[in-house]
Amino acid sequence: MNPLELAQAGPGEAFTVTFDGRPLAALSGQTVAAALWTAGVTAWRSTRGGGRPRGVFCGIGVCFDCLVTVNGRANQRACLVPVRPGDVIRTQEGPGQDDD
Ligand X SMILES: Cc1cc2nc3c(=O)[nH]c(=O)nc-3n(C[C@H](O)[C@H](O)[C@H](O)COP(=O)(O)OP(=O)(O)OC[C@H]3O[C@@H](n4cnc5c(N)ncnc54)[C@H](O)[C@@H]3O)c2cc1C
- Please report, as ranges, the residues that interact with ligand X according to CB under 6 A: 59-60
Distance CA 5, CA 21 (A): 30
User: Could you tell me the sign of the dihedral formed by the alpha carbons of 3, 26, 53, 92, in that order?
Assistant: negative
Count interface residues toward ligand FES (CB under 6 A).
Answer: 12
Task: Point out which span in 10-18, 21-29, 42-50, 54-62 binds ligand FES (CB under 6 A).
Answer: 54-62
Distance CA 80, CA 76 (A): 8
Residues that bind another protein (CB under 8 A): 1-12, 27-31, 33-34, 37-38, 42-43, 47-50, 52-65, 67, 73, 76, 79-82
Between 23 and 58, CB nearer to another protein: 58
Instruction: By CB under 6 A, tell whether 65 contacts ligand FES.
Output: yes
| CA nearest to 83, candidates 10, 4, 16, 22 | 16
